[in-house]
Structure 1
Amino acid sequence: MAKKILLIVGGGIAAYKACELVRLIRKDGGEVTCVLTEGGAKFVTAMTLAALSENAVHTTLWDLKNEAEMGHIQLSREADLVVVCPATADLLARMAQGVADDMATTLLLATDKPVMAVPAMNVKMWEHPATRRNVARLREDGVTVMEPDEGAMACGEYGPGRLPEPEAIMAAIRNFGSIDPLAGQPDFAGEMHRDLYGKHVLVTAGPTHEPIDPVRYIANRSSGKQGFAIAAAAAAAGARVTLVAGPVNLETPQGVDRVDVESAREMLAAVEAALPADVAIMVAAVADWRAADAADQKIKKDGSGEVPPLALAENPDILATLAKSPQRPGLLVGFAAETENVVAHASAKRERKDADWIVANDVSGDVMGGDANTVHIVTKAGTTSLETMPKARVAAALIDRIADEIA
């Protein structure tokens, strides 16, 4: 991600979320310097932002000490990325018109770095033709303008205009500043459209636990990290996301509806209940077998040295079931955890289960539980192999391709 962020905090009740965004940027290893507008100062204080960022907060052009050395010009050039959050209707209008009548707008006019604006305003203001013209002009000028979220607002109305949650903004910042794994070039010049806005994306993640008795179960080493990262990336791209999660110790990504399950049969029921979906991404490492007759009480040793027999039954195949469903998602993506002949096994699996894509990875190392992954996207048209990268970047690359596919 971009390591140096210049954060311009506009006015409006959503300004309080900028404080959490500062914390997330710092947690992610970034450095953040804040510019607080006059309107923003009505809702959050410079002291709060300074404490969270551990940097001085800038509020005015008329600072004799800084401006003697043209401090606002230096500020505008030192960052890797300028983020305007929240971007009010007034601030967007002044940006579109090239107004430079305060610290924030002067910086925006003087910067030679990429700019990302995160709007927040009343639904009618967001839908007003003037705002739509201003957003279109800014995008034409190369400014990335995120789409706002839809929901209840402080004014009591409902609709698009809510500031996206800080975690979603953080994901957009992280993706904005990354290296495109397919092109090998920075994606600063590209627009960060919320390409899955209005789409329903269904994701499964983690292992399943198949009970043998009340204290023992059959499972695998899946951590759920890749599936949770994909759910987070889909939410950041504007989708409504349902995440069906097996037993994992992970926080729910912001903006994601989570359903917790334990067994394969429970996961299948939750998946079917979540339909219809535009896209289904089946990342979960579902146990292939379960105990045919799970014991009601703990199975005890009897001292004979004999191992009790364990009869197995095959679990339902969730991916294949979805492929045959009358509510089959428009794009059905499965995952294949392999230890040998990765692409060949994945290709066979795609055909056998009638999936559109299979994302294959070699789990013979520390992928399960680790933070990085190397994947191969197998489609009817061929295979694309991505370089080894953090699971969050794998998720972003996959969601980018999915958005292109269903556009």
Structure 2
Amino acid sequence: MRTTLNLAGVPSIVAEFATSHRRRIADALLATAILCFTVPTTLLGLSFSLWGPIPDWIEILVEVITVGTLLIRRRTALPMIVASVLCAVLTGQIVPMAFAAYSMTAENKVRHWQLMSVPLVAAAAAIDYVDPRTDDLLYLCLVRALTLIYLPALVGTWVRGYRGMILELRAGMREREQQAARRERRKIAREMHDTVTHAVTVMVLNAGMLHEATDSEVDRLAATIEDKGVEALGELRELLTVLRREDTPRTAAGARAVSGLVEEAAATGTRVTLHYDLPDIGLPTQVGHACYRVVQEGLSNVSKHAPRSRVRVVCEAHDGVVTVSVVNDRGGGGPRMSLQRLLPHSGFGLAGLEERITLLNGRLERGPTPDGGFMLTARIPLQPGARLSGASADEAAGGERP
């Protein structure tokens, strides 16, 4: 029986293993490099000790122990520092001390690393001074000791700072991604509410009117329900196509479509009047769309909570500020059907509307009126990026309400 090996996925497996065990692989390669540097020096008889000749097996044992402490340098630096100093004293090898100086700062395992560097530099200078293969000039030994010990420690501090900066950048990136995801979820909830709630409210109202309609009116009401259902599906489909973009859909309803909302509300029995005084030219698309959503939310709430009330819709622009308000009185006669039961109050509509107005640097007010009704008013600056100020801000804070 012949067995075939599939080697197509081997590179990816190796890459994944190298990524997940990157630090361990680096420590193993570093330990191998130090062994290759120290052990052959001992075997060739080029090593020396401050206390005179010692057996080669002791030197090799000390070198192996020093390399072993290198493997735990990320958890604690003291064993490697002590072992590297012992290795330097017994074998004359300064290289392990250089790696120990780098590790104690790069891994941030020694708080006062400058003080710890002093005995390491002193030991390196003493070993270099008694080394028969080098000169006996003390200041040159100090310079070489500083270069081999203090400089790696200083480089370790730079590496630690770089790693900390990378971690901060990654944490900041994750935080920004989470904030963007939260904004996207709020946008989805706001758009879904604005798109669906009004159309469904009109459909429910028309469905309720079927119980009181004559045979001649049934076809008209059924056609209205069908049209609103198709409209809601179309808006949802368009919403899905632009969900990942910040811009408003090209076909988003603007301020000129407010009259259509008023006509729909009147067709369901709501007594509504409209005062429209907005410019047809120069009105930003987002501002016009926000005006439409304010009227839509106001009329939807009236249909659900006060279907027999009288409603006044005002859309006007003065001094660079667009004011849109939907005000209804207390109403009377009792509702024809319990829309509050069929469409329970969620509280998301006004919250999403306030977010929409705030993004345009506007202000949204809502609350009861003196005669027991309810008022919903939005004031939005015409210029993008402008903010309400002066009289507009005072009026929005406590001025006369329409």
Common fold: TM-score over 0.5: no
TM-score by length of 2: 0.19
Structure with higher Rg: it is 2
TM-score by length of 1: 0.19
Larger strand fraction of residues = 1
Larger helix fraction of residues = 2
**Relative contact order, higher structure (CA 8 A, sep 6+):** 1
